[in-house]
Amino acid sequence: MQKTDMNQIVGKCHILFVCIDSLRYDVAAEEQEKGETPVLNRYGPWQKCQAPGNFTYPSHQAMFAGFFPIEEGILDMKKRKPLFFSPDIGMGRQAPEGAYAFQGATWVEGLACEGYETYCIGGVSFFDKRTDVGKVLPSYFQHSYWKPAFGCRVKESAEHQINFALQKLRQAEEGQKIMMYLNISALHYPNYFYAEGEKKDSKKAHALALRYVDGQLGRLFEAFREKGETFVICCSDHGTCYGEDGVWYHGINHPIVTTVPYKHFLL
């Protein structure tokens, strides 16, 4: 995985975290190989990684605490290369080389202490703020938003989310450092409507949903590039099954669920 010194990023760059919720590694890699995701392909290949959780809530709790997906094959947690590090979690007080030591319960809150304006644009129900559980993850951000148009059941959800993100970027004060998180819901179930005539979720619909999302991401990346140098983290929180070994969807430890794509890069 590309080596990055986050101490040279924090305070200098905007930070954009895009989680394509439920994206399977195999689908991401196949679409990359076929050239069907030209925007994401522009920023390097996907890394095959181990997910920190098998559904949205535990995976995000881990990622916001600095535990992003780790490269396949790493068997010793001490050999992972964290971007953000909490000195309060029983793994030693000294941050590993290149990791940014943050204060607070999450690195999002740590960046706010460094003067960043932090934004969350939700997608799936764990970000909808309509229930007590749905308020937990958004509470880590200074500004958090969710609308029904951002949700899983809306075919144009990614377009709506990115339009909203661009609006917030335009409204931000000149010179203000921004940390923005997007939970892209389009690949989460239901996704059958991305495959014409289909009535059931499938790997094919999942791939078509990824192509749709890729077609939207270019506008977001370009807007951040114009705003200033930006460090981007792009990954999935977990995969999802479509009948493999009799398994449907996620929330269990099947290899398709626990294997995810990850990349980070500079704009």
Note the pLDDT tens digit of each residue in 61-76: 999 999 999 998 877 7
Higher pLDDT, 72 or 20: 20
Work out the average pLDDT over 1-8. 81
| Ramachandran class of 226: left when φ > 0, alpha when ψ lies in -120 to 50, beta otherwise | alpha
Two tokens, residue 173: 């004060």
- Local confidence band at 90 (pLDDT 50, 70, 90 cut-offs): low
Work out the average pLDDT over 203-229. 97
At 41 the pLDDT is 98
As a whole number of Å, the end-to-end CA separation of the chain is: 17
Looking at residue 244, which CATH number applies to its domain? 3.40.720.10
Burial (CB count within 10 angstroms: exposed 0-12, middle 13-18, buried 19+), residue 152: middle
Q: What is the DSSP string of 118-130?
A: EEEE--SGGGS-S
Two tokens, residue 17: 């975290």
Q: Does residue 147 form part of some domain? A: yes
Asked if pLDDT for residue 228 goes beyond 70, the answer is yes
- Local confidence band at 92 (pLDDT 50, 70, 90 cut-offs): low
Q: Does residue 233 form part of some domain? A: yes
Amino acid symbol at 173: E
Q: Does residue 65 form part of some domain? A: no
Asked if pLDDT for residue 117 goes beyond 90, the answer is yes
Q: For residue 246, give the DSSP letter.
A: G
In order of 31, 70, 90, 91, the CA distances from 79 in angstroms are 30, 10, 16, 12
Q: Does residue 93 form part of some domain? A: no
Q: For residue 3, give the DSSP letter.
A: -
- What's the rounded Cα separation, in Å, for the pair 178 and 15? 6
Q: Does residue 100 form part of some domain? A: no
List the single range of 69-78, 115-124, 224-233, 258-267 with lowest mean pLDDT: 69-78
Work out the average pLDDT over 48-56. 97
Asked if pLDDT for residue 149 goes beyond 70, the answer is yes
At 87 the pLDDT is 84
The count of structural domains within the chain is: 1
* Residues in the chain, overall count: 267
Q: Does residue 145 form part of some domain? A: yes
Question: Could you tell me if 96 and 3 are in contact, meaning their C-beta atoms sit under 8 angstroms apart?
Answer: no
Q: Does residue 219 form part of some domain? A: yes
* Beta strands 143-145; 117-121: pairing state: parallel
Residue 133 sits in which domain range?
Answer: 8-57+105-266
Asked if pLDDT for residue 99 goes beyond 60, the answer is yes
Asked if pLDDT for residue 166 goes beyond 60, the answer is yes
Q: Does residue 67 form part of some domain? A: no
Question: Could you tell me if 18 and 184 are in contact, meaning their C-beta atoms sit under 8 angstroms apart?
Answer: yes
What dihedral angle (degrees, nearest 10) is formed by the CA atoms of 194, 199, 205, 208?
-20
Tell me the whole-structure pTM to 2 decimals: 0.95
Percent pLDDT > 70 in the chain is: 96
Closest Cα to residue 55, out of 160, 137, 159?
A: 137
Asked if pLDDT for residue 246 goes beyond 80, the answer is yes
- Local confidence band at 154 (pLDDT 50, 70, 90 cut-offs): very high
